[in-house]
Amino acid sequence: MNYSAKEIASFLHGTIEGNPDVVVNKVSKIEEAEEGSISFLSNPAYTPYIYKTNASIVLVNNDFNPEDGLKTTIIKVDNAYNSLARLLELYQKSKPEKKGISSLAFVSASVKTGENTYVGEFAYIGENCTIGKNVMIHSHCYIADNVTIGDNCILNSGVKIYSHSEIGNSCIIHSGAIIGADGFGFSPQTDNHYKKIAQIGNVILHDNVEVGANTTIDRATLGSTVIKKGVKLDNLIQIAHNVQIGENTVIAAQSGIAGSSKVGDNCMIGGQVGISGHLCIGNNVKIAAQSGIGSNIADNEVIMGSPAFDLVKYRKAYVHFRNFEKLIKRIEELENKIKSLSKE
């Protein structure tokens, strides 16, 4: 679809500088943009590109003042990145949506579906499930018995949801994600074997949760594994049994949280972070990538390392670590001098 600068500025409540009638029909990165595309500038590191970009329109922050001539039309907005997100959402909604239940899908007779439900080819929905309005269940999804899915959810191809899981409204689950697999519960026996402990709990996803591709969220042994409102999980994350993740927490790829740990609200957890079991991570905590967490973390901490500790202290300690060989050599030299002085 084609949109003029005037239409886009009206939608975003922005101010145009340049040709208000220029038209765009695609979105591009500022350094790769072609004529007929719209781009954005929010990171100052990319400022040089705005003077040579081929984009027809560029979204910029209100405080941007060009230091040279521009050949592109700019639209000034409060936040260029957020405005781009709104445009992308508008673009996504403009795409034609699939509707109806495919004749090649299996939907149990006891399933309750809301209005405008889409079920793709070779999807399976088990007994006594409840599916909300405007839900899209793409091909090859598997939904076991007694699952509840709220309104406006999207399950991409290949999602697997085990029995008794509860999915809130406006959740997005990406391909290959598994919700509700058994927790890793085994009891060691005297003969060095392990006896499986039945995992009879479930998984609950609150509203507006997004789960990345190939991420796994295990069902609770007893009770529920709970992912609260607004949580965003990247790809390839492992959430173990009985974990609780607080509202609006974001976790990057390849991180793992062991059983029964609790993560607070508004936390930011980098990639490849490991959190041991039965821990409590406070609210507003930031954990740098590849950190190992083996103890409770208080509210508002910013930590790094393995084992992780305060970020500022870590950076100071790491300077000494890099100079460790030199420090050892100095100590040896001082010891030799002390020995010489002792002999004298």
Residues with a catalytic annotation lie at 241
Rounded Cα distance, 210 and 103, in Å: 29
165: amino acid identity, one letter: S
How many other CB atoms are there within 10 angstroms of residue 190's CB atom? Answer: 5
Please give, one letter per residue, the 3-state secondary structure of the chain: CCEEHHHHHHHHCCEEECCCCCEECEECCCCCCCCCEEEEECCHHHHHHHHCCCCCEEEEECCCCCCCCCCCEEEEECCHHHHHHHHHHHHHHHCCCCCEECCCCEECCCCEECCCCEECCCCEECCCCEECCCCEECCCCEECCCCEECCCCEECCCCEECCCCEECCCCEECCCCEEEECCCCEEECCCCCEEECCCCCEEEECCCCEECCCCEEECCCCCEEEECCCCEECCCCEECCCCEECCCCEECCCCEECCCCEECCCCEECCCCEECCCCEECCCCEECCCCEECCCECCCCEEEECCEEEHHHHHHHHHHHHCHHHHHHHHHHHHHHHHHHHHC
For the record, the structure tokens of 88 come out as 């992308």
